Amino acid sequence: MKFFLDTANLDEIRDVASWGILDGVTTNPSLCAKESVRFEDLVKEISRIVPGPVSVECVSEKSPDIISEARKLAKLAKNIAVKIPITIEGLKAIYALCQEGIMVNTTLIFSASQALLAAKAGAKFVSPFIGRLDDISEEGMALIEEIATIFDNYRITTEIIVASIRHPRHVVEAALIGADICTIPYSVMDKLVRHPLTDIGIEKFLKDWGKVKK
């Protein structure tokens, strides 16, 4: 499974990039709004740090506007994936942009039918938001299972990005299903590494190392 970082914060991206496990980054307007760097400079710098796909969202709503905005975003760096919300206008734009070879990440996916249509239009990625489904007492991970089954049934190569991740168990469950990618906030990425028994074990080994005859 590939690990993307779900942030627009350069310090977080530089840090996780140094761990040697980072395959890409996803941003969205809300994440970019938290940063003080000018939008285009931010996107270019993220794309320089991370060689893998960097998702950047289109905010236009009509397909001709989405298409021209996406073309501009795709020119910022070679590894840009344009994020387009799933709507009818979005589908038209996804089809046109994919014909041009632009990587599209279809975002705000909350049903398997939306994922199937995005894939059929040619999207490279679909981003089902599982945490937001859990937040309204639905079963976010059940959506990942449905999409994975449908994509397997038809040998669809569109990659599933499990998004809106809230805790490490989401990542493990996504991996058990066989999702292609998890996009993970920095706080959860940090929790994935840690375990209290690891900390206790390190402390004991260090203490005992002090008693070893050298």
Counting contacts by CB under 6 A, is residue 127 touching ligand E4P? yes
Of 17, 37, 45, 131, the one binding ligand E4P by CB under 6 A: 131
Q: Which of residues 178-207 bind ligand E4P (CB under 6 A)?
A: 183
- Catalytic choice (83, 120, 211, 214): 83
**Residue 126: CB minimum distance to ligand E4P, A:** 11
Decide: 109 and 126 in contact? Cβ < 8 Å.
Answer: yes
Structure tokens at 66: 């989405």
Least separation in angstroms between residue 77's CB and ligand E4P is: 18
Site for ligand E4P in 91-120 (CB under 6 A): 107
Q: If we measure between CA atoms, which residue out of 135, 123, 138 comes closest to residue 165?
A: 135
Separation of alpha carbons 41 and 33, rounded Å: 13
CA distance 133 to 24: 24
Between vectors from CA 120 to CA 118 and to CA 122, what angle results, nearest 5°? 75
For residues 80 and 206, what is the distance between their CA atoms, to the nearest angstrom?
A: 45
Which one among 26, 79, 114, 158 touches ligand E4P, defined by CB under 6 A?
26
Determine, following the binding rule CB under 6 A, whether residue 47 of this chain makes contact with ligand E4P.
no
Residue numbers at the binding site for ligand E4P (CB under 6 A): 6, 26, 28, 107, 127, 129, 131-132, 163-164, 183
